[in-house]
A and B are shown apart, each in its own frame.
Chain A
């Protein structure tokens, strides 16, 4: 371990948060045991009785539900489509003064996705600007002092050319996958899902645009990346939560509409058509334009 990353500090944030988090749902595998669970793998008498899919999903946690932007890029390439999502990222004109939870969280998620996807190609100034935007969002969302220190330290090392792009990729990956999702945001439960929604919407927008340029018969499994009904349901739950910190109705309304479009397409059994992809591009683009 020759790395000089501030990892112990990051993990101390995570540990502190976990210590303060309320209990999540634990499942008694013997309770409501089903008549039988279909098992493709060799039968093991000691397989826990987890019940039916409905029973299994009841109380299931969503902490690992949402794929990361880098993961999406890899899956796109695995499906035979070489388009680099980073090359499709537009110049976003965000309203950084919009400080309500929905705005700040979704915007931070979008920028986090851009930061990850462009880590190998972005100019130093672009990276710093994205880190500053995330820091602003974390401040508006009451993410706490530790995340500000972490971002500040990252920024300083980038500015001083004291960190390689490979190291940054790992650090941003951890920031997105482990550090920010474990922050408490002063007890605001909606923040992390909305940040993830922002990252996922940006990813969906980029994937749909990438696929629009690929002939129907060459899209392979790429279009499946846009079919994630569980992810859409997860985000919808939080978008529909009302609160005093909610964004202006125009934003939440558009977000709900967009998730509705994505849900309908996610449930399509046939492959997505070019028209479907255009609908995804437009629906996600409309939300991104409001941020």
Chain B
């Protein structure tokens, strides 16, 4: 009985694997150096199904920015959206995957809001580990 339950418990707890997310993101960031991208920040987090994480982000006019993300197998669809300080969407990804990328060149220097949205989990109500990098050039 216990043996049978173990996989079920594992799935329902939807253990998020930060290492997997980071392993996916790392080479993308390193490869970006060859194209002139530098790193503002790299970080990891966990997001539950249907939830978001919001980040304050300062962007400088004239620079090009890219937000790169990777999630572990806990996510089926992850989205990235960038909002202006007025609450308008200025950039977003339109893909159904777990490695969304958004590129944006602001015309105004200022504070923006980066929203990472765990739109659909692989397992209902599951969590996903998400690695996130903000790069610039």
Contacts and interface: CB of A to CB of B under 8 A. Distances in A.
Interface in B83-131: 83-92, 94, 108-111, 113-115, 117, 119
A64 B56 contact: yes
Contact of B22 (A11, A30, A62): A11
A48 B115 contact: yes
Interface residues of A, number: 65
A150 interface: no
Given A27-B52, A50-B54, A38 B87 contact: yes
Given A15-B19, A56-B115, A74 B137 contact: yes
A93 interface: no
A68 B40 contact: yes
B43 interface: yes
Interface in A41-97: 41, 44, 46-48, 50, 52-53, 56-57, 59-68, 70-72, 74-75, 77-79
A57 B54 contact: yes
Contact of B85 (A39, A53, A63): A53
Interface string B45-74: 111101111111110111100000000000
A168 to B, nearest CB: 12
A60 B54 contact: yes
A184 interface: no
B134 interface: yes
A177 B39 contact: yes
Interface string B14-42: 00001100100011001001000011111
B87 A177 contact: no
Interface in A178-211: 178, 181-182
Contacts, number: 191
B9 to A, nearest CB: 21
A75 B110 CA distance: 12
Nearest to A42: B89
A1 B90 contact: no
Contacts of A28: 50-52
A145 interface: no
A79 B87 contact: no
Nearest to B47: A26
Interface string A22-42: 011111111000000111110
A23 B38 CA distance: 27
Interface residues of B, number: 58
B54 A170 contact: no
A44 B90 CA distance: 13
Nearest to B117: A48
Nearest to B88: A40
Given A1-B30, A15-B19, A231-B58, A23 B53 contact: no
Contacts of A29: 50-52, 117
B81 interface: yes
Contacts of A221: 61-62, 109
Given A7-B30, A230-B58, A177 B40 contact: yes
Contact of B58 (A78, A182, A228): A228
B60 A225 contact: yes
Contacts of B22: 11, 14-15, 18
B34 to A, nearest CB: 10
Nearest to B45: A24
A276 interface: no
A19 interface: yes
Given A7-B30, A23-B46, A224-B61, A177 B41 contact: yes
A29 B48 CA distance: 11
B115 A50 contact: yes
Interface string A225-265: 10111110010000000000000000000000000000000
Interface of A: 1, 3, 7, 11, 14-15, 18-19, 23-30, 37-41, 44, 46-48, 50, 52-53, 56-57, 59-68, 70-72, 74-75, 77-79, 169-170, 173-174, 177-178, 181-182, 221, 224-225, 227-231, 234
Instruction: Give 3 closest A-B pairs by Cβ, nearest first.
Output: A78-B62, A75-B60, A177-B39
